[in-house]
Amino acid sequence: MLNFEFWSIVETVANIIILFILLRIFLFKPINKMKNERTRTIQENLDSAEKARTEAEELKEQYENTIGEAKEEAKNIIMKAHDDAESERAAIIKKAHEEADQKVAEADKEIESERKKVLRQAQSEIADLAIEAASKIVGANVDDEKNRRLVDEFLSNEEVGK
């Protein structure tokens, strides 16, 4: 059977209490202190990581906004350049048409001038030939000045009749 001795039980309980106090002072306090420091360090790291993530998201948002603005600005620049090029093209075409019209008008004037010149020369030659033919037919040259005037009047009347 088991014998329980009172002093032995008291001694064992006292040893356990002393052991508990010693363990608490020399083991549990340092372990709790390390645990608290480790918890604090982990929490600081988590807070730092969260702060870095927040900053990264803000930077990403700023970057996306900057990219969006740059794309919009590039689009506006391209549209403006296209519009400028289109207006420049229209101006060049208009100028080319004006120059072409001017050259056509000048050519028409020159053609008309040449036509009138050729007609005058032809009239003069025809008048000379007619006077010469009439002189030969009549046999005598009456008056060159008078004949010339008559032929010019005739040709002028023919020209007006056309």
Q: Which residues contact 148 (CB under 8 A, 6 or more apart)?
A: 127, 131
What is the pLDDT tens value at each position of the chain, 162 positions in all?
567 788 888 999 999 999 999 999 999 899 999 999 999 999 999 999 999 999 999 999 999 999 999 999 999 999 999 999 999 999 999 999 999 999 999 999 999 999 999 988 888 888 777 777 676 666 555 677 777 777 777 777 765 545
> Which residues lie below 8 Å from residue 155, measured CB to CB, with a gap of 6+?
123, 126, 127
Residue type, 133: A
Instruction: Locate all alpha helices (DSSP H) within the chain, ordered by sequence.
Output: 6-23, 29-138, 144-161
